Every structure is written in C-alpha cells, then in structure tokens.
Amino acid sequence: MAEIIRVPKLGEDSIPVAVLKWHKYEGESVNQGDIIVEIETDKSVIEIEAQQDGTLIYIKIPRGVTFPNAILGIIAQQGENTKDVLDDIEKNENTKLDRSAGVDIIRMPLLSDGMESAKIIKWHKFTGETVSLGDILAEVETEKALIELESFREGTLLYQLLTDKAVPVHTIIAIVGQKDTSIQTILKAEQN
C-alpha cells in the first residue's frame, strides 16, 4: 500500500511549516528510514523519513509553506500502478493532485505567513536549456530572504516567466518537461 508523506502534527497549534529541502526526487527509489524531506517550524528543523521501501512517485509541495497534516508526497510500493495510487488518494483524501503529464510546474512559492509576492532576481537556466535534477533554475527575493528554486525533474526548461515586477504567490514561473511537450494547455488553464 502506498505511503502518504504528511506534515506531522506539531503540538496543539496549527502552526505553518516551511518545506526546506527534498532529499529524494520523483521517480527515485527509497528505503525505509531514508530521509525524504526536511521541514522547518519556528523552533526547529525536522527530517521526515520513509516508513517503507518503494519509489517516490509524487511531490505535492516541492517548496513553500504548508500546515500540519498536509500531503507532502507519496511513496508507492514496487509493482503498484502510479495512476491507480494517485486516483485512490484523490478519492480517499478528497483532494486534487496536480498531475500535468510529465512536467514540473514551478510556482512562486509561499515562503512565509502573509507573503503575497516575491521578485525573480536572476535566472540560472533559460527556455530551451537542458535541466537536471537539483539544478538551480532561479533566485527569488522576498522581503526577508533570498532563495534558490531548484528543479525536481530532468528535461528541458519549457517556460519561464520573464519580468522585473513582483510576482504573486502561486503564479507559474517555470515549467520543466520533455523537449517537445506542449505547455499551451497548462498556461491557458492558468489564465481561466
């Protein structure tokens, strides 16, 4: 049975936590006890471990702020059908998982409570360039910090938002996927 990686409940308050770093990427094998992701509260950094062997098939929150009990990612056991696992989780959790076929949609992350926008100050990759797992795509500046956004997929940078203005949280700022993937449907759906 698939393992849902969740933000742990941290006391009685529903304090926000920040996803700091993924130690595994989508499609990567994991062993029970492997550190999968690091999250940060206002008091500490917490490492979340895999509770079973399998493959990390889905990362829901690659970076940014979330709350206790939120789904971070999903590990499937060997032989499980990825589509079936994700369908079951959507149904049982009453949630929608972003499954844009074969692409990583990178949005402006929510990095702190009350954050509304941030500014892209430097791109390290440009549309059409090859991207590897862990490559730094861009640097983003908020009121409080400068962060690097990394790729969670190998492929080609298919889209990047070029602007010198503040970008609202959750806006698509980049898309990584296979070279000939059409992204027009994704961008059009975003406008609606």
Which parts of the chain are beta strand (E)?
A: 3-6, 17-22, 29-30, 35-40, 45-49, 54-59, 64-66, 71-76, 103-107, 117-123, 130-131, 136-141, 146-150, 155-160, 167-168, 172-177
User: Rounded to the nearest 10 degrees, how much is the dihedral formed by the CA atoms of 3, 92, 26, 176?
Assistant: -170
Q: Which two tokens stand for residue 22?
A: 């993924």
Q: Walk along the chain (192 residues) in steps of 10 and give the mean pLDDT of each run.
A: 85 73 86 93 87 88 76 86 81 70 76 83 96 90 86 88 91 87 76 64
pLDDT (0 to 100) of residue 101: 55
- Residue 97: what residue type? L
- Tell me if residue 105 falls in helix, strand or coil: strand
- In this prediction, residue 122 carries a pLDDT of 96
Between vectors from CA 174 to CA 131 and to CA 62, what angle results, nearest 5°? 80
pLDDT at 100 (0 to 100) = 57
Distance CA 82, CA 74 (A): 10
What local confidence, expressed as pLDDT, does residue 68 receive?
A: 75
Closest CA to 154 of 27, 12, 10, 17: 27
Q: What is the pTM of this model?
A: 0.59
- Structural domains of the chain, with CATH: 3-93 (2.40.50.100), 103-191 (2.40.50.100)
Instruction: Sort strands 17-22 and 64-66 into parallel, antiparallel or unpaired.
Output: antiparallel
> Looking up tokens 């954050």, which residue turns up?
115
The pLDDT value recorded for residue 186 is: 73
Q: Determine the pLDDT at residue 77.
A: 87
Among 81, 88, 78, CA closest to 31: 78
Mention every residue, 6+ apart, whose C-beta is less than 8 A from residue 46.
Answer: 8, 10, 17, 38, 39, 40
